[in-house]
Each structure stands twice: as structure tokens, then as C-alpha cells.
Structure 1
Amino acid sequence: MSQQSQQAVFGRRLRQLRTAKGLTQRELAGDSLSVSYVSLLEAGRRTPTDGTVRVLASTLGCTEAELMGGQPLPAERPAVLTVRLGQLALAGDNATEAHGHFTTALSTPDLDPLLRTEATIGAAQSLERQGRLREAALIYEKLVQEAVHDPSYHASIKVVIGWCRCLYELGELTRVTEIGAATMQELDRLSAWQSDSAVELLATIAAAHFELGDLQQAERLLREGLERAERMSSPRARAAVLWNASHLASERGQHREALELAEEALAYFRHGSDRRSAARLLSQYGYLLLRQEPPRVDEARSTLEEALAILREHGARYELGYVLTELSRAYLLKGEVAGAVDAAEQSLDELGPEAALERARAATALAAALAADGARERAAELFTTAAETLGQMKTSRQAARAWVELGEMLVQAGDPTAAVDAFRKATAAMNLGAAPSKPAGGELPVV
């Protein structure tokens, strides 16, 4: 914690204890301190000496550790326990129970501001795990707005990442880039780039630019992130950047390089304690295996099934949807049409109604499977809806691919006029023309 952060914590705690005792600043100052000095301490503009802490703790009837914020106050201990129970429930993949604990803690009167923030973050995380992305995004947004005016702003980078992650899933990609740009300016102002979270934020913003089709900006951000990670000698930050860089390489047709980048990132996450990120990267690796020439379908299925097993224990429902979408593609490449339809339908069920971006991708996977099963009318409807939805989100690359897949299906169905119209829409979306389609989906922003 920075000196500014320590001063802010001490100031909040001092003011809380003084008002709980019913003392004025003059009464607290007594004969030992000046009123102006007490005022500066409460404002977080001075660091108290050890002697000052002893005098104030004696007057307030608390321990020095309680005054410094190192220990909860007696009245706060039940709330502290409730927050810890929520965190344990969240770690144990019981998001509903966790949300209940955090909500209970937040109902405590006069809750310490730091504990309130901790409980609020937990509430947002538990809502996100349940797929209640809009509610989670609103809480993250409120936390960020409060933190902008706090001396410890840089400590909220993970909250910004959570906010961006929810907006990404909701399909609000332009907002992600705008929030990211504003946060980067704030990090520059505070010289607060020296953390893994700051680099991970760069990778998250790059992922949004990638989906919007701005590959040059995505590459620039990833290059900057890699340079910062190397200056910090941070394997985690480097892995986060490489994870996203693998998407860029794959999009440019550098499929072998994409695999190598993902393998290096996976080597870090697979041997760490962050099982959720490891599983998300496994799903990305499976996605890349499906894009090889020829597709390495058996390896991809094995990798995706491993990711699915981990995410059932450690992930959010919408993250299961990513994997199931790619499994549907894998089944279809093996000619297992029934399995492809089932996996895509499961994906839509797990994603829930709010994960708009991935729902559109899952719909294209289901449409492809239905087309292979002869249900061309329903497939055409799904392709069209998905392409229009992706176009509204400005994800031109994915929209174009959905139109191309629809065009290819219409060619096979003997409807060249409608096929030409679909290919023209693909060209309008992203100047791709009627090129053979690639599997779409599974691209995950880093955590």
C-alpha cells in the first residue's frame, strides 16, 4: 500500500472512531495535539508518528492496530466474518451463497469503508459468476467512479478489468475501449503502471479493439503490454499479453505462431493456482487447434473437454458457454452432427440471456450444425440473426463470417440468388468476400 493509501485509511478510521465516541476534533486533540493537525490526519494529508498513534488510541479507547486499520473494530467483527464467508463461498464456486453473505455484510450500519468496498467487489464478482452481467457491471462502474477521487485509485485496476470484462460480454466493446483509454491516462498521471493488473488491463482493451476489427491498435497495445511486462520481469503479465497476441496471430493466418504464443502463456497458467485462467486459456488453445490446416480436431476436443471440467468447478456459466461453442465446432468437423447441435444448444443455455457477444457466436455454431442436419430454414434464420446482432455490436469480423457461412449453406441448398446477397453483406461488413469460413468464437478477454 502506498503512503497516500495508508494516510487515507488512517484518516477514515480516525474519523470513524472519533464520531463513534461522540468527540469533536478539539476534544480529541486535547492538550497533546493541535486541532488543525487532527483535521489534516482525518483528511489523509499527514502520516502520524508512532507517538501520535499511541495518544489517539488511548483517547479513543482502542488498540493501535485497530486505529491503523490492521484489525477490525469489535462492532465490525461479525461483518468481517460474513465477508470472509462470502469470499470462501465464491472460491468454492457457490456464487449464490457468496452473494447472500456479501449482501448481509453490506447491510451493516456504519461499516468501515474499506470493508464495504471489499464486500461490494465480492457482490459484483458473485453476480458476474451467475451471469448477471448487467447488475455486476453497474456495481463495478460505481466502484470505479468512487475510486477516481481516492488517493489509492491504482488499487482499483482489477475493478476496472471486471467492469470491462462484463461490458465485453454484453457486447459493449466501444465502451470498453473508451474506459480503457481513460484508465490508461489516469495510470500515466499517477505513474501507476508497475503492476500485473495494469498490463492485464492493456490486454483486455486490446481484445476489444481486436473484436472491433482494429487490429493495428490491438497490436500496438499488446506490444506496449509486452514491453511493460518484460521491464517488470513479470511472467504473469507476459502470459496475459501472449494469450491475447495469439488471437491476433491466428487472425493474420499465422496459425503455427498463434499456437506457440498460446503454449507459452499456457505453460505459466497451467502450473499456477489460477485454475480459472488456465481453463480459459485451454479453451483458447482448443479454438486455435481447430483453425490449423488441417484442423487438429481430436487434440482440440481433448483440450476443450479438460477446460470444461475445470470451469464446471471454478468458472462462470457464461465461460462454460465459450467451451461448448467450440466443442460444437469440433463435433461438426468430425461429422458428429447430433453432438454438434447438442453442444451448441447447451452453450446457449449456459450463456444465459445477457452474454450477447458469445450468444451470437454460439448461434452461428448451432446454425452450422442444423444446416448439416438438413434444417436449413432454421439455420438461415439463426445465421441472419447472429450476423445482424454482431454487426450492431460493430464486430465486423465475426458478422462477416456469419454472413459467409450463411452464403455457403445457401449455395449448397441451391439458392444462388440468396447466397450472393449473403456474400455481399459479408463484403459490406468487412471486405472479406466469399472466402471459406473459419470457426468463430471462443475469444476470451484476459482476467
Structure 2
Amino acid sequence: MDEPAVIGQRVQRLRVERGLTQRQLAEPAYTDAYISTLESGKVRPSETALRFLAKQLGTTYEELTTGRSARLTTELRLALTGARRLLAAGALGEAASRYRELLAEAEDLALESERADVLTGLGECALESGELDAAREYFEAAERTLMSAGEPLPRRVRALRGRAVAHLLAGELRYACYVLETALDELNAHGLHDPDALVLLYASSIGPYMDMGAHARAAQAAELALALAPRVSDPALVAGMHRSVARTLLAEGRIAEADASLAKAQDLYQQLQNRTELAHCHWMRGYVHAQNNDLEAAEHELRTAREMLAARSATLYTAQVEVELADVLRRQGKCEEAVALLSRLLELGADLGEGRGAVHAAGAHRLLGLIAEKESADEQAEKHYVTALALLERSKAAGDLADLCRLLGDLLRRTGRTEAAIDAYRTGLGHRAAPGTTTLGPAPTAPPFRSDW
């Protein structure tokens, strides 16, 4: 709200424009003397008085107290919805450009809540394009804006979750878990049982848990997300939850259920015309088919996802799908095509492992090591395994680290270096034992399931 003097001048200007005397404006609730005092800026009017005067002057409370047109605010919010639709449709460049325009408008109008939403949208655009540092900065700015405006934690969850995803994609799995778990603990400990916020956080925690090898904790998060889903009103949020839950079902060998969960997500995204998330569904379904050894179907789904992601310049996600596709090609015996794909990926994204998708860069080196080992190029295979290990150690991806230590140990043992092989196996066993104990600490507080929230 503006200062009393500014509000008084605005009341006087609007009164004169409408041809009203101070008495006509004041009656029947107030006196002309009160209006005179108010217009001179000598009194701070109450909300009740301002709402009465706004009605008398034919304007809105917001415009009278801030000078901002309610129409402009409504137009900005509608434009925000349009920018979100552009991003969902895969028009990444157009969405980012529109969000930048809206940021300037929100700042001009001093609309802090809308400014935070625009910053969050820009962060999501940056995630899609693989600009992780920029994404993190946008999400952090959105959180600061909402906090300074006194917004509660549930209102800040979307930006907070975006920041966690940026850390996850940068290979900072442990910190991503910390961000999400801290928010979950705060929500549940303070009775802020917002189903939308809780489902978003639980579903988002599944990915880093799985990458760290903490499968039990991922399963617990999935169970809580599924239990809360009936209370969620946003269909896009429910679809994202089903897509994340599929990972835990797959890890438990429940392949049919995982595919059914993805089918639900895909159907919802098709109804919402969200091509961005549809691409991720194709990606995940390709992974499910690969785990079920249906390699032809897996290749089809992954190529579809790759084409959709590349079309909207989602560089980092495209690279991650290409690693999955290369593994399917390798298993089909198309090693030459797999090597070409992985080599091009690592050449074009030379910095992929430097803070941008270290887990998937390690995956590329792991696959190149497997192919080299099959071709009896043991020295080359060892180099790829060691490179992959270095990338994963920075990321704390315990499950993948254990697998790589086993592969390296097998190679060293087969080539006669028994002591080095034993060291590799021991390292792998250490990583395998870590998740859920020293790596992560206590699980976040679970929400109480009551009928009144």
C-alpha cells in the first residue's frame, strides 16, 4: 500500500475527474471533513474506508491503494498462463522470450507474487535448455521474492523443487535430497499439510533416491505420494507423480505396474496437450521396455523421446536419452552405432560431466567401456571405467558406483591384477552399504493421514 499522502492525492484526483464534492464522496458513511483530512495525507485510512471510497469512485481497492490497474494485473496473470502453455507445448524459445517480457511488466507493476511466478517459469526454461547455473539463480530469486512477500512454504515449493532438480541434473544428488527433505520436514512439522506441495516434493525425491541407490527410501516416498494423490487437484501434478512412481515399481521388478503407471501419466499429459512431459513419458517407457528385454519397443520409444526433446532444444535431457538409447543399441548388437552416438554426445557436450549431467556422462563412459571390453580393448575399457568412476564419485551416485566398481574389478581380475580387483570390489561394497545410513541420515517426517486435510 502506498503512503497516506500518495493515496490522498489519488483520491482527490479521481474525485475531481468524476465531478464529485467531498461531501458527495463521503456520504453516507463519512464526513466531508474526513475526506479533506484524507486527501491532505494527514490520516492513514482504514481498509474499510478505502474499500468504501473505491466503490464510490468506481475503481478497485487495489488500484486505489497501489495505483495499479486491476485490469493490468489480470492481463499479466493471463499472459503467464499463456507462457506456461508455450513451455508445455515444447516451444522453449518462445516461452523463455515471453517470460522475459513478463518479468519486466511484473517489475514495472511491482507485482511480487507474479514476478516470482515469472522467475520460476524462466528457471524451468533454463532447466530444459540445460543452463543449470541460470536455472538455479532464477529459482533462488523466486524463493527470495516469495519469502520477502511473506508467502508460506507451500507457495514456495514449486521454485524450491526446481532448485533441487537443478542440483540433481548437475550431479549433486545428495544436496538435492537435502533440499527436498528439509522442505518436507518443515511442511509436516509445522502442520502445513498441503497435498499438492507434499506430492510434488515426494515425487521429486524419487529420482535422486534411486540414483543414490536408496531404493527403500524411494519406495517410501512413492507410497506417500500415491496415498496423497486423491487429494490433489492439479492433473499435471498427478501425471508427474505417476511418472516418478514408475521408477520404484520397476526397481521392485513390477514391470507391468510400472508400465501401467506410465500409461496413466501419458494419458493425462495427452489430455493436457503437454508435449514436454509426453517426451519424458516416452523416455521412461523406453527404459521400462529395456528392463523387460523388449529391445525393439525400447528403441522405438527412446527414439521418439529423443526426437521430441531435440525438437525443442532440450539439450541436457536429449543427451540423457541418447545414453539410454545407446545402451539398447549395444544390447541389440549395434555396437558401431552406439559408439558413434556416445562419442558424438561426449564431443558435443564436452562439459557434460562438469556440473551438467555427470551421472549420464558417466553412463556414456560406462557403455563405451563395456563395448571396448567386448572387443578385447581392455586398456581402453579400463580408461572409460575410471573416468566414469571419477564422475560418479563427485555425484555420490552410490548405486551406479557399486556397479562400476564391480565391472572394473572383473576386468582387473580377468587381466591378472588380483589385488587391484579386490580393492575395487571393496570400494563397491562400501558404496553399496552407504544409502539410507551415513549418506542420507533419517528419513523426512511422514504426514499424518487425517480426514480433515
TM-score normalised according to structure 2 size: 0.74
Q: Which residue of 1 aligns with 2:311?
A: 313
Q: Deviations over 1:110-140 (max 9, x none)?
A: 4423453344234323322221102211221
Provide the C-alpha distance between the structure 2 equivalents of 1:304 and 1:412, rounded to a whole number of angstroms.
Answer: 34
Q: Which residue of 1 aligns with 2:127?
A: 128
1:152 deviation in Å? 3.7
Q: Which residue of 1 aligns with 2:203?
A: 203
Q: Deviations over 1:140-185 (max 9, x none)?
A: 1222133234344333322122111111111222222222233234
Identity %: 19
1:322 deviation in Å? 1.9
Letter in 1 for 2:317: E
Among 365, 390, 404, the residue aligned to 2:392: 390
1:330 deviation in Å? 0.4
1:325 deviation in Å? 0.7
Q: Is residue 2:378 matched to residue 1:380?
A: no
Provide the C-alpha distance between the structure 1 equivalents of 2:300 and 2:97, rounded to a whole number of angstroms.
Answer: 36
Q: Which residue of 2 aligns with 1:159?
A: 159
CA 1:327 to 1:411, structure 2 compared with 1: closer, same or farther past 3 Å? Answer: farther
Q: Which residue of 2 aligns with 1:438?
A: none
Provide the C-alpha distance between the structure 1 equivalents of 2:119 and 2:239, rounded to a whole number of angstroms.
Answer: 29
Structure 2 counterpart SS, 1:71 = helix
1:331 deviation in Å? 0.6
Provide the C-alpha distance between the structure 2 equivalents of 1:415 and 1:201, rounded to a whole number of angstroms.
Answer: 46
CA 1:399 to 1:56, structure 2 compared with 1: closer, same or farther past 3 Å? Answer: farther
Q: Which residue of 1 aligns with 2:366?
A: 364
Structure 1 counterpart SS, 2:297 = helix
Q: Deviations over 1:302-338 (max 9, x none)?
A: 1111111222234621111221111110011011111
Q: 1:295-306 alignment to 2 at 5 Å?
A: 295-306=293-304
Letter in 2 for 1:133: L
Q: Which residue of 2 aligns with 1:332?
A: 330
CA 1:253 to 1:290, structure 2 compared with 1: closer, same or farther past 3 Å? Answer: same
Unmatched 5+ residue regions in structure 2? 13-33, 435-453
Letter in 2 for 1:372: K
TM-score normalised according to structure 1 size: 0.75
Q: Which residue of 2 aligns with 1:291?
A: 291
Provide the C-alpha distance between the structure 1 equivalents of 2:232 and 2:291, rounded to a whole number of angstroms.
Answer: 33
Q: 1:395-410 alignment to 2 at 5 Å?
A: 395-410=397-412
The 8 Å contact of residues 262 and 281 in structure 2, kept in 1 or not, is answered as yes
Unmatched 5+ residue regions in structure 1? 1-13, 42-46, 433-447
CA 1:181 to 1:84, structure 2 compared with 1: closer, same or farther past 3 Å? Answer: closer
Q: Which residue of 2 aligns with 1:193?
A: 194
Q: Which residue of 2 aligns with 1:322?
A: 320
Structure 1 counterpart SS, 2:210 = helix
Structure 2 counterpart SS, 1:72 = helix
Q: Which residue of 2 aligns with 1:442?
A: none
Q: Is residue 2:225 matched to residue 1:252?
A: no
Provide the C-alpha distance between the structure 2 equivalents of 1:59 and 1:236, rounded to a whole number of angstroms.
Answer: 34
Cα RMSD for the two superposed structures: 4.0
Q: Which residue of 2 aligns with 1:217?
A: 217
Q: Which residue of 1 aligns with 2:115?
A: 116
1:71 deviation in Å? 1.9
Q: Which residue of 2 aligns with 1:170?
A: 170
Aligned residues: 402
Structure 2 counterpart SS, 1:171 = coil
Provide the C-alpha distance between the structure 2 equivalents of 1:49 and 1:226, rounded to a whole number of angstroms.
Answer: 47
Letter in 2 for 1:331: L
Provide the C-alpha distance between the structure 1 equivalents of 2:86 and 2:265, rounded to a whole number of angstroms.
Answer: 28
Structure 1 counterpart SS, 2:71 = coil
Provide the C-alpha distance between the structure 2 equivalents of 1:87 and 1:258, rounded to a whole number of angstroms.
Answer: 28
Letter in 2 for 1:132: E
The 8 Å contact of residues 171 and 356 in structure 1, kept in 2 or not, is answered as yes
1:278 deviation in Å? 1.9
The 8 Å contact of residues 66 and 72 in structure 1, kept in 2 or not, is answered as no
Q: Which residue of 2 aligns with 1:53?
A: 54
Structure 1 counterpart SS, 2:249 = helix
CA 1:199 to 1:56, structure 2 compared with 1: closer, same or farther past 3 Å? Answer: farther
